[in-house]
Homo-oligomer: A and B are copies of this chain.
């Protein structure tokens, strides 16, 4: 681990000034092109000594880090429809972000957010201390406070957003359309007693899916009955209780729309234990289908209509837009919803006259990927 070289060492060896080295290595701004000859010599010496510029010096003087902070919820508090499913969705999104960043010579600073992150406005500190050029924040809550100063910075919410600060940049999925399509198909199949199992309504994607459900009911003229709907912190116990109520005849249901596949699986498990056949006796639906053995297992046990996010693309779009904004290319708030894709198992598909979602996307068209 020999001492590391500085730009001056290179300059001394080549016999030019440090400025010239700098200009060669950072691809001189048009005005000052270094001659081909010196350029070659410099590259040779750089190669020979294995010289690498000190990023901190560069960051200091350029006031630019080429770092994007990705903020994610801490590990505490996983529940029935978080954990594995969320891990997957998150990691795929991260992959999308990274794929764009690496092409633009950016790196990821990973930041775990705890309860106090928003309240203490730690996002501000990250910008002020020059830790990052931009911030992608995963897991905003609808009732979050303290984001008011965020609008002036290169900060973008992803996956879930915050209602009261609608001038914040946001990239997510069209959850309303997703749930609406699921409900609509259930109605087309003749179901009228559609139980809805949601979750924490303080998270925009949960709330939006519930809205989609209600919207579809309204559109079909099916009365909305709150007594069929469950929300809040839905866990194993809650699901068990709902299944028991159904089995005991206290709750009439010919279909159950669950906010996610994980929830649907547990629900199905409980119902089957009570002797129900799926989908013959009762139809289940889910959400957030992921492509692997987990999905395979779902289909293994019973057919489960669900929808598929495009998380990778969500990550790409987020990174792309943020970089574009950092470079001054976007001055208005960014706000885009990606369409989701409906997934219908064959057995159920047969029951439906025609599927609709992909034809009538409610979301704005996805902006072209902008190379930055």
Residues of A within 8 A of B (CB): 1, 4, 50, 52-57, 59-60, 65, 67, 70, 74-75, 78, 80, 83-84, 87-88, 90-92, 94-95, 98-99, 102, 107-112, 124-125, 128-131, 152-153, 262, 265-266, 269, 290-294, 296-297, 300-301, 312
Output the nearest chain B residue to A67 by Cβ-Cβ distance. B109
- With a cutoff of 8 Å between Cβ atoms, the chain B residues found around residue A153 in the complex are 1
- With a cutoff of 8 Å between Cβ atoms, the chain B residues found around residue A75 in the complex are 91-92, 95, 98-99, 312
- With a cutoff of 8 Å between Cβ atoms, the chain B residues found around residue A59 in the complex are 56, 59
Q: With both chains docked as a complex, state the minimum distance between the C-beta of A253 and any C-beta of chain B, in angstroms.
A: 21
Given A57-B60, A67-B109, A87-B87, 15 new contacts (CB under 8 A): A4-B128, A50-B128, A52-B128, A55-B129, A56-B59, A56-B60, A56-B65, A74-B95, A75-B312, A83-B292, A84-B88, A91-B91, A108-B110, A110-B110, A297-B297
- With a cutoff of 8 Å between Cβ atoms, the chain B residues found around residue A50 in the complex are 124, 128
Q: Contact at B55–A130, with CB atoms within 8 Å? A: yes
Q: With A60-B60, A290-B84 known to touch, is A52 a contact of B109 (CB < 8 Å)? A: no
Q: Contact at A293–B4, with CB atoms within 8 Å? A: no
Q: With A50-B128, A65-B56, A109-B107 known to touch, is A88 a contact of B95 (CB < 8 Å)? A: no
- A and B contact pairs by CB, cutoff 8 A, 13 listed: A55-B130, A56-B56, A60-B60, A75-B99, A83-B291, A84-B88, A84-B294, A87-B87, A91-B91, A107-B109, A107-B111, A109-B109, A294-B294
Q: Contact at A300–B269, with CB atoms within 8 Å? A: yes
- With a cutoff of 8 Å between Cβ atoms, the chain B residues found around residue A74 in the complex are 95, 98
Q: Copies per complex? A: 2
Q: Contact at A125–B91, with CB atoms within 8 Å? A: no
Output the nearest chain B residue to A95 by Cβ-Cβ distance. B75
Main secondary structure, interface of A, reads helix
- With a cutoff of 8 Å between Cβ atoms, the chain B residues found around residue A291 in the complex are 83
Output the nearest chain B residue to A149 by Cβ-Cβ distance. B1
Output the nearest chain B residue to A79 by Cβ-Cβ distance. B292
- With a cutoff of 8 Å between Cβ atoms, the chain B residues found around residue A55 in the complex are 129-131
- With a cutoff of 8 Å between Cβ atoms, the chain B residues found around residue A301 in the complex are 301
Q: With both chains docked as a complex, state the minimum distance between the C-beta of A325 and any C-beta of chain B, in angstroms.
A: 14
Q: Contact at A108–B109, with CB atoms within 8 Å? A: yes
A364 to B292, CA, bound (A): 36
- With a cutoff of 8 Å between Cβ atoms, the chain B residues found around residue A98 in the complex are 74-75, 110, 112
Q: Contact at B293–A80, with CB atoms within 8 Å? A: yes
Q: With A110-B70, A300-B269 known to touch, is A129 a contact of B294 (CB < 8 Å)? A: no
- With a cutoff of 8 Å between Cβ atoms, the chain B residues found around residue A91 in the complex are 75, 87, 90-91
Q: With both chains docked as a complex, state the minimum distance between the C-beta of A190 and any C-beta of chain B, in angstroms.
A: 29
A90 to B90, CA, bound (A): 12
Output the nearest chain B residue to A260 by Cβ-Cβ distance. B293
A109 to B67, CA, bound (A): 9
Q: Contact at A130–B56, with CB atoms within 8 Å? A: yes
- With a cutoff of 8 Å between Cβ atoms, the chain B residues found around residue A266 in the complex are 293, 296
A262 to B95, CA, bound (A): 22
Q: Contact at A52–B297, with CB atoms within 8 Å? A: no
Output the nearest chain B residue to A107 by Cβ-Cβ distance. B109
A292 to B84, CA, bound (A): 7
A102 to B114, CA, bound (A): 11
A265 to B87, CA, bound (A): 20
- With a cutoff of 8 Å between Cβ atoms, the chain B residues found around residue A300 in the complex are 269
A26 to B209, CA, bound (A): 49
